[in-house]
Amino acid sequence: MPSSSLTAVVRHAVEADATEIARICSTAYRNAYRDLLPPEYIERSVSAFYNEPRVAREIEPVLPDWFGYQVVEEDGRVLGAAGGGMAGPDAGEVSLIYLESAERGRGLGTLLLDRVTDQIRAAGGTEMWVSVFLGDRNGIGFYRSRGFEPVSTVRAAMSRVDDHISSLRMRRPIA
């Protein structure tokens, strides 16, 4: 059974974290969606979003659209990453939350979500949005249990007309 997350801390990523962020996000993405999405789509997405040079460029924020990568760390080891930004004057977007697979279920994803929520709130956001692949029961369950409600279905990012891959748009208000 995984240990408690009480010793884990969430912090803004630094350049030295780029390799671990790219590895964690690529591995977690492949593992999470291997039975849900076509392999070509998975590799296209991983190559586009989680290659090390791109991750390194996106460590720092580009406000208000991107708050930069956030990481959860324990005993000097990066265990997960998250990111988000503002999608409008009052609305924030959670772009990603990925963890080492052995660290799931410890509350680390919630710590990362709380960090992005705080950033959105500090930027004036009163609601937050996330896209979750249709059929991703773990992802949908995670966000539903934290107050997100389904709103609509859209074509997934990086999806081509022949892919037919859809995402569920979910929303929650924040105070």
List pLDDT tens digits, range 85-100: 999 999 999 999 999 9
pTM of the model: 0.94
Could you tell me if residue 1 is inside a domain?
Answer: no
pLDDT surpasses 50 at 73: yes
Flag whether 54 is in a domain: yes
Is residue 82 predicted with pLDDT exceeding 90?
yes
Q: What is the pLDDT of residue 3?
A: 41
Within-domain flag for 142:
yes
Residue 2 lies in a domain: no
What pLDDT, on a 0 to 100 scale, did the predictor assign at position 1?
34
Q: What percent of the chain has pLDDT over 90?
A: 91
DSSP string, 156-174: PTT--TTT--EEEEEEEE-
* CATH number of the domain encompassing residue 80: 3.40.630.30
Collapsing DSSP states into helix, strand and coil, what is residue 144?
helix
* Nearest partner of 155 among 139, 167, 171, judged by Cα: 167
Q: Identify the bridge partners of residue 86 per DSSP, sorted by sequence position.
A: 92
The mean of the pLDDT values for the chain is 95
* pLDDT, tens digit (0-9, with 9 covering 90-100), for 55-72: 999 999 999 999 999 999
- Tell me 2's DSSP state: P
Answer yes or no: is 88 within a domain. yes
For residue 31, tell me if it sits in a domain: yes
In this predicted structure, which of 5-9, 101-105, 113-117, 170-174 has the lowest mean pLDDT? Answer: 5-9
Asked whether residue 28 is domain-assigned, the answer is yes
As a whole number of angstroms, the distance between CA 114 and CA 42 comes to 27
Q: Which domain holds residue 157?
A: 9-173
pLDDT confidence tier of residue 4, bands split at 50, 70 and 90: very low
Q: Say how many C-beta atoms besides its own lie within 10 A of residue 3's C-beta.
A: 10
pLDDT score at 6: 66
36 within domain boundaries: yes
Number of domains into which the chain is organized = 1
